Amino acid sequence: MTATRIPSPAAYLGRVVRLNASALSNAWDSVVENTRDRRDRDQLRPGPGQPLDGMTPDECWSQLAAGTIGRVAFTAHSGTPVIVPVNYAVDGPTVVFRSGRGPKLMAAARGDLVAFEVDDVDLQARTGWSVVVTGTARLAGTPAEAAHLGSLDIQPWAGGPRDEFVVIEPRHVAGRRLLPTSPPTG
């Protein structure tokens, strides 16, 4: 039998800090690149393939409000990116979902920056749309807020207790549609 070596708390924390520092550095580089390239992306110029059409903020919120299942992306405590589906609701200018113990709840408790995405795709027509919300995750702040969020009737499909409400306060909301190609003119 081989003895398992357990790292000291200092060694473990040093590893987590290095991973998180690397994740933070990568995220910052992405923000800089995203800002630099936003001009070109926002124009959504036609080219080969099907055209993309940007959605207005009102169109994005309308699509968000009509849905019930989306995907939340966050960074787990080890610095690993994670994307999971959740049942959700829109409450005013926020996205809300329920969570039990685990990395989603911890990300919200830390006030992490997260992304939330909903979409719909028509495989036959090769069309679809997607909306992405980036913002700060937090836990419901007061019993009154939790009672209000409970009235949204979010019904998680996954089993087990999901007693906590996670609220995403948006920093940025963007959406786009993949439009059908135009039929050839004769």
Confidence of residue 100 (pLDDT cuts 50, 70, 90): confident
| Closest among 135, 161, 162, 147 to 72, alpha carbons compared | 135
CB 76 within 8 A of CB 153: no
Residue 79 phi, psi (nearest 5): 90, 5
d(CA 162, CA 173): 26
Map out the domains of the chain as residue ranges.
Answer: 7-43, 48-178
- CATH class entry, domain 48-178: mainly beta
CB 75 within 8 A of CB 49: no
Q: In a 3-state reduction of DSSP, which class is residue 105? A: helix
Q: Tell me the pLDDT tens digit for each residue of 24-77.
A: 565 556 555 655 555 555 555 555 667 788 999 999 999 999 999 999 999 987
Q: Identify the pLDDT of residue 67.
A: 93
Tell me: pLDDT of 20 over 60: no
Is 165 or 158 the better-scoring residue by pLDDT? 165
